[in-house]
Amino acid sequence: MTSEIEFNTDFIKNIDESLSFNQTVELLSKNLLEKDLVKKDYPQQVQKRELNFPTGLPTEPIGVAIPHTDPQYVNKNAISVGILKHPISMTVMGTDDQTVDVSIIFLLSLTQANKQLNILKRIMGIVQNQKMLKEFMTDSNTEIFQKVNRAVLEEEK
CB 81 within 8 A of CB 32: no
pLDDT at 138: 95
Q: Is 56 helix (H, G, I), strand (E, B) or coil?
A: strand
Which residues lie closer than 8 Å to 23 by C-beta, 6 or more apart? none
Strands (E), 4-155: 12-15, 56-57, 63-65, 78-91, 99-109
Q: pLDDT tens, 47-92?
A: 999 999 999 999 999 999 999 999 999 999 999 999 999 999 999 9
pTM over 0.85: yes
CB 68 within 8 A of CB 49: yes
Averages of pLDDT over runs of 10 residues in the chain (157 residues) are 75 96 97 96 97 94 94 94 97 94 95 77 89 95 94 66
